[in-house]
Amino acid sequence: MINDKIIKVCGMCNGDNIREIETLPVDMIGFIFYHKSPRFVFEMPDYLPGKAKRTGVFVNEKKETIEMYADRFGLDYIQLHGHESPEYCRTLSRAGYKIIKAFPIAKAKDLLEVKNYVDYCDYFVFDTKTEKYGGSGSQFDWNILNLYNCSTPFLLSGGINPYSPKALKAFHHPALIGYDLNSRFELSPGKKDVHLLKSFLDKLY
């Protein structure tokens, strides 16, 4: 953790790249199991995180498929990035999985349904609303989150980039637990720029 904030690097595919990223102060590494994503994990990397928690990202996926990937990759967290219902989250939670539910945010009304998920999720992710399921590289108005008053901690996502540390340190919320980093730190889809990430994290200290 950096200043008590979780650092999650998502959308990783390459074993050597994962090994390099894990040398940084990173707490979670995310694997995207959504076949329409350019960061979809087609095959198991030859290295999986041994220190950072493994997070699998799914979009409107069958429970059986999630269970298969969770077992194969030894996932610590299941991140649901689609239109999954509270009941669906409850089912996975009761099966023993730690759940992260992502919500696309553009306006205050986008926070209304979040309260229905509180009992079934360990964390939320608030991401920029887009026609696709994340990965826009764009930032939403973080001030909207001042209206969020539930107890479930959240990770901030959506367009966080190498120039964001100052703004991140200026944004405060009692439920903010960390940052979800992805497309703005890439050399190519699925391959992260280690030096860029290190520089960013150094500035967060």
**CATH code of the domain containing 53:** 3.20.20.70
Establish if 29 belongs to a structural domain.
yes
Give CA–CA dist 111/126, Å, rounded: 9
Q: At what angle do helices 63-73 and 86-94 cross, to 10 degrees?
A: 40
Does 72 reside within a domain? yes
Is 104 domain-assigned?
yes
Q: Is the pTM of this model over 0.85?
A: yes
Q: What distance lies between CA 160 and its chain's CA centroid? A: 12
- Does residue 199 sit within a domain? yes
Please report whether residue 172 resides in a domain: yes
* Structural domains counted in the chain: 1
Q: Tokens representing 162?
A: 């190498």
Tokens of 157: 């996502």
Q: How much is the pLDDT for 199?
A: 97
pLDDT tens-digit profile of 30-51? 999 999 999 999 999 999 999 9
Nearby residues of 34 by Cβ (< 8 Å), 6 or more positions away: 40, 57, 58, 59, 61, 81, 133
Strand, coil or helix: 160: coil
Task: Please report whether residue 197 resides in a domain.
Answer: yes
Q: Is residue 1 part of a domain?
A: no
100 located within any domain: yes
Q: Which parts of the chain have pLDDT scores under 70?
A: 132-137
pLDDT digits 0-9 by tens, 60-79: 999 999 999 999 999 999 99
Nearest 10 degrees: Cα torsion 34, 42, 36, 103: 30
Q: Range of 151's domain?
A: 6-204
